[in-house]
Each structure stands twice: as structure tokens, then as C-alpha cells.
Structure 1
Amino acid sequence: MAPIRICIVGLAATSSAGYKTGEWGIQHLNSLKSSPHYQIVGICNSSLASAQKSIESHKLGPDVKAYSSLDEVASDPTIDMVSIVVAIGKHYDLVKPLLQHKKDVLVEFPIAPTVAEVEELATLAKSAGVKAASGSQGRAHPAFQRMKDLIRSGAIGDVVFSTLNGHNALVAAPMWPESQSIFLNIDSGISRLHLVVGHILDTHLNILGDFKDIQSTLKTQNSKTKLVDDKGNVTQENFHITAPDTILLQGVLESGALASVTMRTSTEPVDNTGFRWIISGTKGELELTSDPGIFHWGPTGLKLKLKEFGSEAKEIDFNPSEPEHLSQMSYSGQNVARVYEAFAKGEEDGYATLDAALKVHKALEKAKTNAVWA
């Protein structure tokens, strides 16, 4: 099968040692360069000079074309698929014309600032008959796929209860990067609620099914912080924080099971455990634990245990045979690469569609709108 000809929209020319705003496109680039299923044919940035600079900086070669206009990308018959890796406020305006031109797309999660925009894009993708994927990549990790397989097989019987307790270190005080201030605004569509819990919810819904009803309690420990530039200089003394850093979600799943998802923000966890997820059934329980880290990247130290009632708990292997190029990816980019692999192979359980992303956005909106604030 011929490789999928793909264009990346939003590729920085430079790559920092750690995560830096505007550089997430590097993970997409590395995933695509290493995969035999894709051929990078274009880079589209805000200007032709910027796109050309990225092509040259990453040594992509003369066969990769520079674009400055999405209209050119959308109408180019040599492009099969487009990856959108830019600020969330631009997603809707970029994705819509691509779907109208029947291009397959992968757009980073969150998909758009409002539920109405996400719903419109999901509907458009279906009517256009194209494949459209969300960048909520947690579900692609082998540990979560193994959990889903075990539940499907009846290893723990019917699910009765699930509790997922998470930790993150995104403490906003006493200072916070100005370039990432959008994460502290609950109405931005990419606040800590949407970004951190949104990725968790996609994996949660994929494994356990949708919420029939959901309630939420939210808290912001620090209401103000100093914004600083990339050199540490203060650019704003009293930035108002509206996004929660302590999040309690609970409700009833469509299956009838009870479920809760909690997230606390602190510098570091007391037990060095980033996430603990226990799913209890009529015949047994599953437990997944991890070191501190980013849930949807697949934190290190993941351990999956199964206890069938009446027998000892046992650790479950979840490391399948994967293509060699996946092991060459950085920790933060491995699940991105897995999503691309699943997309190329038509393995729909390995990536989230826009319909799946819409369910997450609706759950987050309900949690935000009906929240009790501590």
C-alpha cells in the first residue's frame, strides 16, 4: 500500500530539550518520519518563509513543499491527510475547509474552544466521508488497551465501580510561563480541566463507556500568579487564575457502574505515584499504577495488576510486539506515533475519532457548567 501523503500545519523550526509552547509539532514530525506508512509532502506555517525555515531546519529535503495558505493545502490533490498542531483558537477555521475538501485530518486535543464547534466538525467529517482523528492519544498506550481487553473478556465480571486518582505538578504559583497562560483560563477550551482531565476522560470513556450522569466539584488553590517570559522576567504581577487545579468528577456510567476521576495539583506526590486506577467488578479487580508524569504520554513505571476473587493478585504483561521505530521515539512522543500507526492501519480502537472527542468535550462542559466550587 502506498504511504499516506501528509502535510503538517504548525511545525516549529527549533526543538527545545523540554516541552515548549509551539513545539509539539516536533513529536508529530518524528512520528511521521520514522513510520513506513507516511510520506511528509508539505509543511504549512503562518508564512512561506517560516514553513521553508522548518523544512530546512529539520532537513526534510526538496520533495517537501512549503505552504503559507491553508487553501493551497486543502486544494492540493497530492496531499491525502493533514495534521493540525497549532493553538486551539485556530483549530476550527483550519479543520473545517480541510474536511470540506475531503482531506483526512488529525487535530490535536482539545479540538476547539466550544462544544458547538466540535460538534459541527464531527458532523462534517461524517458527511464528507473522511477519517478524522483526535490527538487524545492516551488510549493508544498498550497498558490501556490491555485493560480494555481484560474487561471485554470478562476477567473481572461486570464492572461495578471505578476510581481513578491522579496527580499533576502544574502548580501555577508563585509564577507561570506567559506563553502558557491559556491553561489557567477555564473559558479558553484548553484549561487544566480540559487538557489534563480531558485526555484522561477519553481513555476512561474508551475503556468503560460513557457517563449517563456526571457531577463535579472544583477548586483553585491559588487565584493569582505572576506571569514570566522565557527569560524569567515578570510580565504581569497579578494574573487572575480561573481554571481549577483540584478536580473531582463522579457519576453513573451508561453500564450502571459508578465512576470517579479525581485530580490534585501539588509539587510532588507523597507516595511517588502519579496515577492509581482501580476498576472493581463482580469477579475481581484491576489496578493500574504509575510514576508521576503525564497520563496520556504513558507515564513510566506503569504496573497493571489483576485480582480474581479467591486467588492472589498477579501482574499483567501489556508489552506487545510493536514496530521497531516506535521504540526510537521519545517518551513524550510514543503515543503520538502509536496513534498514527493505528490510523494508517485502520485500527479504529487505537485512536479517537472526532465523535469520541465530542463526547469528552460534552462531559467537560457539563462538569464545568454544573460544578460546585469549593
Structure 2
Amino acid sequence: MTPANARLARLRGGIPAVEVGARGIESVARNAGCTRLRAIVISGLTPTEIIKHVFNAEPDIMSPFAMTLSQAYERRLLENGGASLLTAYREKGHLATSEVKISSVADHAPGGGVLARQRRELETQRLLDMKHAGNPLAPNLILNPRLPLALVGVTHAIELDYMVASDDARSYRVGVIKSYADRGGKTDKADIRAACREAAVGTLALRQHLESRGDDPDLAGDRIDMVLRAPGSFVPRLFASMRAESEMASLVRTLSTAPADLDEVEQLVPAGTSFADPRVINQIPNNYRSNCKEHCALWERCRAQALAAGQPIILGDAAAEQLAAAGSITRALDLLDGRGRPPDNRAEAALATELRAAALLLDRIANG
């Protein structure tokens, strides 16, 4: 065990490490201000594992129907050597009829054991090196590639859906498969952004691989591919070469946010304790947001803490923004009613005026 792994094991306090994956790292970027989520992920855990092992509760997970649909759709695209995925690219003209080279990393080293995972990682790196060396035998599609991603000095392995490249491309684009129905402009934009960020995690790993080989990391580019499904069917809808520059930027910002290294994570944990102690988890600062339910199993606990502290976010994003000057619901009510200490600054004074004006307007509407 390396020194870093030993330190991580101490932080986990006996809870088995899990692979947080691209989705887990993407969730950190959704809420970059949440120190709690960031520290948990860096240590090799997920909120779901914390709920199960620390709080002895059942996590609020994806519905069985949604999980089955997602798994079936991904399996449909990647089975038979990725034939359906290849067809989608050829029909859109993104791969020529002669560009049919496919390599399934999962088939090369199946299984969940340590040795199998290491073999998948080495095979992915070998295929990438073929492409970057200009080898014409490099595959056009790499299914289920696996790469390491260094996050604040800690290496996390991520397994992606696929990578794609034409014969004349210098490197690969990362692709992500989602079972969301493509409803055009009505598709949930938050889902699309999350999928793009998830693919961008893979792009960061690809950049790190290029850099480790002495190649230009910019070969990885800032574009990703996404496959949704047609409503009411498993027919794939391909969105190729989507620009993910902003998603890449948000990930890079997230990686530079404190805690920015393992030392800072350890400073969050009192001596002699670990993440296995619920008191440790509860004392690490969180950043509850109304969309936390979409991606974090700890959302109910963080919401309860926000409610106990009277944080305006409990009333929604708009209220949190409008009451930011007060800092808490209790203080906002004091400013409204003129109780307690006078406004501390001009921002509080302006908020007090706005709240009283809104209260008068509401009273006129209610009482005529």
C-alpha cells in the first residue's frame, strides 16, 4: 500500500473504498462549494456509501425502472461489438464505411477483480498510444475504456462508455450514453449539462494520459459526443462533437478548490477519528442547494442542517439570492419587523426596505 493509499484508508476508517467514477467526480463539479462532498469523493467514497455505512440508512437511489432502462439501453448500444453504436456514427457520416475498427476493453479483461481492472487500464493506454503514434490499426471505437485520473494528488480510476475517432483524427473524443429521451428543446438542460460534464471528466483523464506520455494534452480537444434515445424506443440519437469548453472549465475550477490536496482533507478530520464517525461527517461544511437531490444521497441530511440554521436556501434558489444580505431567515425576519440590532450595512438596509415594501404590497392584495 502506497503512503497516499494508507492515508486514505485511515480517513475512511474501515469503510471499503469504491470507485467514484466519472459520475461521482462530475457531481463534485455540480456543487463546487460543498467541502463535505468533495472530501468524501477524494477519500474514495460516495455519499451513498456514507449513508449506508455511517448512518446505517438506505440511500435514495435511482428507481428500479430507470436503472433497468439505463442499463438495457447502454447494453443495446455496446453489445455485439458496439454494432448499434457504429451504425449510428456511420448513418450520421461521422465514420466512413471503411472505419469499422472496434475494440472492447471490457471484453479484453472482463470481471471486477483488481487484476481485471488493471488489465483494462493497461489495454486502454495501449490503444490510446497506438492512435497517438499514428498507427493505422488504432480502433475507431474503444468501448468501455478505463483510465486513471489524478484528483488533488489522489488517483481515481474511471470507466467511460466509449471513445471515438476517425482514421485521420489525431486523438479520441469521449462519448457518453444516456437513456434520456431526446425531446429536442424540451430535454432537461440540467441533464444535458451533467452528461457533458461526465464526458468532460473523461477528457481530463485523456489529457493527463497525453501529458504523461510527453504529448500535447490539447490533442484531446474540448469536444465530446453524447447519445440519447428517441422517445418511446431504443433508437439512438447521436450528438457528435459537442463543445464542452464550459464544462471543462468548471471541472478545472473544481479541482483547484479547497480542499486542494490530501493534507487539507486530513485537516477536516479531528485526530483519531475518520469518516466512519457520523459526527465527523456532520461537522464538515456543506453547501446545500435545491438540486442536491438530483445527485447526492446526503441531500436530506444537509437540508436538515440548513433548516436548523435557518439558511434561506430552504426557501429555494430565488429566496437564497434575494436574502443573501441577511444570511439567515431569522435575520431577514428581524429586518422586516425592525427587531434586534439595526442593519449592519447598506445591503441589509436595502433588504429591509425591500422586504417591508413587499409585505405592504402583499397586505394590500390580501385585504384590498
Same fold per TM (> 0.5)?
Answer: no
State the TM-score bracket (shorter-chain normalisation). under 0.3
Greater per-residue helix proportion: 2
Greater per-residue strand proportion: 1
- With the length of structure 1 as denominator, give the TM-score of the two structures: 0.23
Larger radius of gyration: 2
- With the length of structure 2 as denominator, give the TM-score of the two structures: 0.24
